[in-house]
Structure 1
Amino acid sequence: MPTLIETLLSLGILKKQDADYLKEESGKTEKSIEALIYEEKLASEEEVAEAKSKIFNVPFRKISEGTEIPEDVLKQISEEAAKFYKFVPLGKRGGILEIGILNPGDFEAKEALKFIAAKEGFAPEFFIITPTTYEQILKRYKTFGEEVTRTLKELETEAFIERGPGIELPIEAPGEAEKIAKEAPIIKMVAVIIKYAVEGRASDIHVEPTKDNLRVRFRVDGVLHAALSLPLNIAPAVVTRIKILSNLRIDETRVPQDGRFHTKVGLKDIDFRISTFPTSLGEKVAMRVLDPSTGLRGLPDLGLQFNNLKKVEQGIKKPFGMILLSGPTGSGKTTTLYGILNILNKEGVNIVTLEDPVEYYISGVNQSQIRPEIGYSFATGLRNVLRQDPNIIMVGEIRDEETASLATHAALTGHIVLSTIHTNNAVGIIHRLIDLKVAPYLIPSSLILCVAQRLIRRLCPRCKEKIKANPEMEKLILNEVSKLPQAIQKELKVSSPIYVYQPKGCDKCLSQGTRGRVAIFETLTMSPQLEKIIIEKPIESEIIREGQRQEMTTMLQDGIIKVLQGLISIGEVVQATEIEK
């Protein structure tokens, strides 16, 4: 029987050097070949499933997201068996139960299923499924509320047994919170909160004490949503459990603390960045969810397309120079930087980053977290990085004159420098550098590319509603599309009447009408004409005129393109780009 590596090679999915790497790395780390393939993004889940299908002669079943599995079908296989043996029910046809399995070569799993089939009175039919499909179906067994309720009951039962009826948990007492935090129900409670936050695509978890309860909220697509309320008397234990995970001082509740921990949620390796904050009602905890599968993405996945994508791809091929990204906090700049780093991350280059904080760990990149409280700033780090023989330097943010000067000189001396800077648009980056005392004559030689971006909520593909644009919106769309390059206009094929999409809301998007986010961009490249403007007369109107000559797609125009593609709503684009209606 051929191996997974051999089959992927024969299908042309793996390269010989990748196969050699997988064999060597698997021996070193004891990780499975399949886990390494996903970790290094050498093949997709579907490609691996197709290869397994060929090896075991078992058909691959693709299940689309949102496919409902009837409750009577789920009941045929217990949740415990599904978790332990890695198989789930997919559907039923007469006396046949369709079974989705991750590893058809698992003899124990097949034997267990034979036993279950004989007991329940069905004949199993196997299909290979992807890990993502397996996790999605596994979620159907329980709801968030059910798990939380069950855990609270366990906690109450333990309190009753240990302390007797009618006695409240005195967890405000010294040492009691730590004791309770190490008990199984509290450990499970925090694990359940984390699990559902990750599965719900939350970017942040907020654990907040109020006068009446402990409120847990998830930030999804930039908006905070209430997740659940817990009894106030378990608040210290929940916070203490999070502190224990993050290696923070559990006896210090008077000052803020920062920490970090790593855990596996389903098949995902997730990092959590923790911040505690003292309030008058107790400690509040904010947890940033750092999921590499969402944070490390290709440039088109981020929203770059047409001219913007072409300019970025050309810019990162330059041997040296500075690429600067601008936008407000939370506009996705760091995610775009990581996307660029992923492309540049090759065996023959030395990449060093200075970050505050390190959000995602990238294999092969030397990442350093600055610590201003001990004098290790972006500027200090940049001076020392230049002694590390780097090819590519990423600086989290250029926020002062010293960092701006050092970054400019690093770009002039043969390094690629990636960084972020706070301005309203791509044109403003040049003025911001001049404000930071970078000599205008140095900018054309050092600056390759200016990128500005904003994040917009994606419309839910399942429930978005098609409507006719009102006259005001149609006028705006037609006006901006007329300024786009002819090639883009030809592809969009815009004519009156114009139809756009608006959010509606369904169970898939939690009635929000949106699911996920996508960025809108504008890019400005250095050119001989722009060089002349910067040196002679760096007026914004002149730089904008040069951008128009370059056929620069503005953020508004990029947003309108995505509106016409049915990805986002026109209202959010207008709001994000601060255009007067």
Structure 2
Amino acid sequence: MELEKRELRDSLVKSLVSEGLITQEQAITLEIEKERSQATLADSIRTLGLMDEETLINFLSSKLHIEIFPLKDFIPSKEVLELVPQEFITKFRIIPLQREGNILKVGLPDPFKLEPLEELRFHSGLFIKSYLVNKDSLDSFIKTFFASSQETRLEEVKPEEEKPSVVKLVDLLIAEAVNLRASDIHIEPGKDKVSIRFRIDGVLHPFKAPPLYLYNAIIARLKIMANLDIAERRRPQDGGFQVQVSGRSIDVRISVIPLVEGESIVLRLLEREKGLFSLEELGFSKENLTKYKHLLRQTAGIILVTGPTGSGKSTTLYASLLEIRSVEKNIITIEDPVEYHLDFAKQIQINPSVGLTFASGLRSILRHDPDIVMVGEIRDRETAQIAIQASLTGHLVLSTLHTNDAPSAVTRLIDMGLEPFLVASSLKGVIAQRLVRVLCSNCKRERKISLSQLRKSLGLEPLPSDERVGIFEPSGCQECSRTGFKGRVAIFEVLELDSSFDNLIVEKASSDEIRVYARKKGFRTLREDGFSKIVEAKTSLQEVLRVLGG
């Protein structure tokens, strides 16, 4: 916990400005960094690179009346080093210097971090006297005296998952991720720290990094929570567990893969009681929503949702089932994995180890008198063929496919080896989608741009008009964790395939040819929907270009 007093910090910042060590603008930047990271003044100055290390510790020494201890050529005695655990030294960057009676002199680069000193006083039974040390010299000192032993200890660390500190660390890590709306947690070994990143609104952000000596214990703790083999480090493993965070039930799916440097773990976080989205909440334009609801009213045929991993396809499928559910309809799904539990559908999770695949499961479903079938993903020709057979025998089949846009889904099915005439007969519509971050309503800022230039930036046909429109850009505030965005919304293209497309499909027309024909019938592309979201101030031009490229 950082115990730096607000009044002291303000006084020190004023002194930095008055003494010409930083500018007023840099003082404002320091305040922003403080709000963003909750870092101490010393840490913030170092992070922002506002001055060299020597100038910083000289300033802190003069203002706080703390002596500087030069580490150059200093060699501590073995007896003094043994007074402080190595883990404490590497974790808190505090080193023992000398002992005089019942006083232990220690060196630290940040005088505002007081809690570790209290912990050291308690465990050592000695009074603690602090000295300022150059952080660069301290890093070299720790590397010199502890690098080799630390490397050995990493190999010797046993599964210390039951130690309260590691248990608490893992629990806090998951809770923090949930509170920050993260969908995934990435954990892997770094150079001298554990690399932890949260995926928030589709983008990875670094999180506070624990010291490297905790890496094995963190991995072991997570493996035990997921009922995985803690001794297996050569093969990938998958598992899961449930946790409660502030009264919310969270399903955690865990994937472990071996790396040259150790193991990488990714945790996927899913809130069990989180309500399903309706179609209206996903981001469909009025025109696209009307088209898609018309597709869902079909009693038979295939409707595909396409896009890359993490583009919200499953959410759209669930919302689609929510739209068409009825006590008069038997809805069965086969998924990998089941992400949300539906009280109006029978759900199957594939299990290849016992022979339950999408293809075999789909065959069984068709013997179970379904009206509507949802297949998590069409991954191969066999699954695609069974899905087509189901659609041609009076079933509505919803599924996903990995293609860049809607027209490409048609050619992808044919490339899988399906007969074009069967694709033409069964495929009723395709939705392509991407997720873009929503601008924070509290801090977004407006700028003017010509409508023609905006369209040109998106690769759309420019307009001859010189009309200027206001579009918004991210800024960053406390409410959005300084990202400028909060939440995500989908951009869509909806391709309705009526009988007029049959000849194109049977003749194996390219996706470009299908797109050209579809546009004549009112088809709007992802970029055009992105254009609308920009003009509506839902997202920024840069965000749409980040997601769609260009």
> TM-score over 0.5 for the alignment?
yes
Letter of the 2:522 counterpart: E
Q: Does 1:272 align with 2:269?
A: no
Q: Which secondary structure does the structure 2 equivalent of 1:469 belong to? A: strand
Q: Which residue of 2 aligns with 1:533?
A: 504
Q: Which secondary structure does the structure 1 equivalent of 2:491 belong to? A: strand
Q: How does 1:24-103 map to 2 (within 5 A)?
A: none
Letter of the 1:193 counterpart: L
Per-residue CA deviation, residues 469-504 of structure 1 (Å, 9 max, x unaligned), is 157624538995999xxxxxxxxxx98111111111
Counterpart among 172, 194, 219 of residue 192 in structure 1: 172
Q: Which residue of 1 aligns with 2:188?
A: 208
Per-residue CA deviation, residues 63-99 of structure 1 (Å, 9 max, x unaligned), is xxxxxxxx9xxxxxxxxxxxxxxxxxxxxxxxxxxxx
Q: Which secondary structure does the structure 1 equivalent of 2:479 belong to? A: coil
CA distance in 2 between partners of 1:539 and 1:282 (Å): 45
CA distance in 2 between partners of 1:206 and 1:329 (Å): 16
Q: Which secondary structure does the structure 1 equivalent of 2:478 belong to? A: coil
> How far did 1:267 drift?
3.1
Q: Which secondary structure does the structure 2 equivalent of 1:212 belong to? A: coil
CA distance in 1 between partners of 2:455 and 2:441 (Å): 26
CA distance in 2 between partners of 1:449 and 1:232 (Å): 51
CA distance in 1 between partners of 2:462 and 2:192 (Å): 56
CA distance in 2 between partners of 1:562 and 1:273 (Å): 32
CA distance in 2 between partners of 1:272 and 1:205 (Å): 10
> How far did 1:392 drift?
1.8
Between 255-264 and 286-295, the greater mean CA deviation after superposition: 286-295
Counterpart among 325, 342, 363 of residue 322 in structure 2: 342
Q: Which residue of 1 aligns with 2:299?
A: 319
Contact 1:307 1:552 in 2 (8 A): no
Contact 1:322 1:408 in 2 (8 A): yes
CA distance in 1 between partners of 2:404 and 2:266 (Å): 28
Q: Does 1:252 align with 2:223?
A: no
Between 256-265 and 194-203, the greater mean CA deviation after superposition: 256-265
> How far did 1:419 drift?
0.9
Question: In 2 relative to 1, CA 198–372 (structure 1 residues): closer, same or farther, beyond 3 Å?
Answer: same
Q: Does 1:446 align with 2:417?
A: no
Q: Which secondary structure does the structure 2 equivalent of 1:427 belong to? A: helix
Counterpart among 555, 562, 578 of residue 533 in structure 2: 562
Per-residue CA deviation, residues 213-263 of structure 1 (Å, 9 max, x unaligned), is 222211112221111111222222222221122111223233221101112
Can you give the 5+ residue segments of structure 1 that lack an aligned partner in the other structure?
A: 1-70, 72-142, 162-166, 484-493
Question: In 2 relative to 1, CA 346–265 (structure 1 residues): closer, same or farther, beyond 3 Å?
Answer: farther
CA distance in 2 between partners of 1:545 and 1:475 (Å): 19
Q: Does 1:435 align with 2:415?
A: yes
Between 365-374 and 326-335, the greater mean CA deviation after superposition: 365-374
Q: Which residue of 2 aligns with 1:504?
A: 475
> How far did 1:338 drift?
1.8
CA distance in 2 between partners of 1:481 and 1:562 (Å): 17
Number of residue pairs aligned between Structure 1 and Structure 2: 420
CA distance in 1 between partners of 2:178 and 2:530 (Å): 28
Letter of the 1:567 counterpart: K
Q: Which residue of 1 aligns with 2:402?
A: 422
RMSD: 3.5
CA distance in 2 between partners of 1:499 and 1:342 (Å): 36
> How far did 1:572 drift?
2.7
Contact 2:307 2:404 in 1 (8 A): yes
CA distance in 1 between partners of 2:290 and 2:219 (Å): 47
Contact 1:323 1:417 in 2 (8 A): yes
Question: In 2 relative to 1, CA 177–319 (structure 1 residues): closer, same or farther, beyond 3 Å?
Answer: same
Question: In 2 relative to 1, CA 402–476 (structure 1 residues): closer, same or farther, beyond 3 Å?
Answer: same
Question: In 2 relative to 1, CA 173–513 (structure 1 residues): closer, same or farther, beyond 3 Å?
Answer: closer
CA distance in 1 between partners of 2:272 and 2:461 (Å): 35
Question: In 2 relative to 1, CA 211–556 (structure 1 residues): closer, same or farther, beyond 3 Å?
Answer: closer
Question: In 2 relative to 1, CA 528–499 (structure 1 residues): closer, same or farther, beyond 3 Å?
Answer: same
CA distance in 1 between partners of 2:489 and 2:289 (Å): 14
CA distance in 1 between partners of 2:415 and 2:173 (Å): 45
Contact 1:211 1:281 in 2 (8 A): no
> How far did 1:457 drift?
1.6
Contact 1:218 1:225 in 2 (8 A): yes
Letter of the 1:260 counterpart: G
Q: Which secondary structure does the structure 2 equivalent of 1:318 belong to? A: coil
CA distance in 2 between partners of 1:367 and 1:553 (Å): 34
Question: In 2 relative to 1, CA 354–308 (structure 1 residues): closer, same or farther, beyond 3 Å?
Answer: same
Q: Which residue of 2 aligns with 1:402?
A: 382
Question: In 2 relative to 1, CA 346–267 (structure 1 residues): closer, same or farther, beyond 3 Å?
Answer: farther
Contact 1:465 1:501 in 2 (8 A): yes
Per-residue CA deviation, residues 316-365 of structure 1 (Å, 9 max, x unaligned), is 12112111011122221122112212323443333222222222333343
Contact 2:455 2:461 in 1 (8 A): no
Per-residue CA deviation, residues 406-442 of structure 1 (Å, 9 max, x unaligned), is 1111111111111111222111111111112222222
Counterpart among 450, 456, 461 of residue 436 in structure 2: 456
CA distance in 2 between partners of 1:475 and 1:210 (Å): 42
CA distance in 2 between partners of 1:214 and 1:535 (Å): 55
Letter of the 1:320 counterpart: A
> How far did 1:286 drift?
0.9
CA distance in 2 between partners of 1:571 and 1:235 (Å): 36
Letter of the 1:223 counterpart: V
Letter of the 2:489 counterpart: V
Q: Which secondary structure does the structure 2 equivalent of 1:524 belong to? A: strand
Q: Does 1:330 align with 2:288?
A: no
Contact 2:451 2:467 in 1 (8 A): no
Q: Which secondary structure does the structure 1 equivalent of 2:406 belong to? A: coil
CA distance in 2 between partners of 1:337 and 1:427 (Å): 19
Q: Which secondary structure does the structure 2 equivalent of 1:230 belong to? A: coil
Contact 2:458 2:531 in 1 (8 A): no
> How far did 1:539 drift?
4.3
Contact 1:352 1:392 in 2 (8 A): yes
Q: How does 1:12-27 map to 2 (within 5 A)?
A: none
> How far did 1:558 drift?
0.7
Q: Which secondary structure does the structure 2 equivalent of 1:249 belong to? A: coil
Letter of the 1:288 counterpart: R
CA distance in 2 between partners of 1:319 and 1:214 (Å): 53
> How far did 1:293 drift?
6.4
Contact 1:171 1:234 in 2 (8 A): no
Contact 1:327 1:333 in 2 (8 A): yes
Letter of the 1:423 counterpart: T
CA distance in 1 between partners of 2:224 and 2:174 (Å): 15
Q: Does 1:544 align with 2:515?
A: yes
CA distance in 1 between partners of 2:396 and 2:38 (Å): 46
Q: Does 1:360 align with 2:356?
A: no
Work out the percentage of aligned pairs sharing the same amino acid. Answer: 40
The TM-score normalised by the length of structure 2 is 0.69
Q: Does 1:383 align with 2:354?
A: no
Per-residue CA deviation, residues 126-148 of structure 1 (Å, 9 max, x unaligned), is xxxxxxxxxxxxxxxxx9999x9
CA distance in 1 between partners of 2:180 and 2:474 (Å): 19
Q: Which secondary structure does the structure 1 equivalent of 2:171 belong to? A: helix
Q: Does 1:284 align with 2:268?
A: no
Between 540-549 and 324-333, the greater mean CA deviation after superposition: 540-549
Question: In 2 relative to 1, CA 551–237 (structure 1 residues): closer, same or farther, beyond 3 Å?
Answer: same
CA distance in 2 between partners of 1:257 and 1:469 (Å): 50
Contact 2:458 2:527 in 1 (8 A): no
Q: Which residue of 2 aligns with 1:4?
A: none
Structure of larger gyration radius: 2
Q: Does 1:242 align with 2:222?
A: yes
Counterpart among 220, 225, 233 of residue 213 in structure 2: 233
Can you give the 5+ residue segments of structure 2 that lack an aligned partner in the other structure?
A: 1-5, 7-36, 41-90, 93-112, 125-145
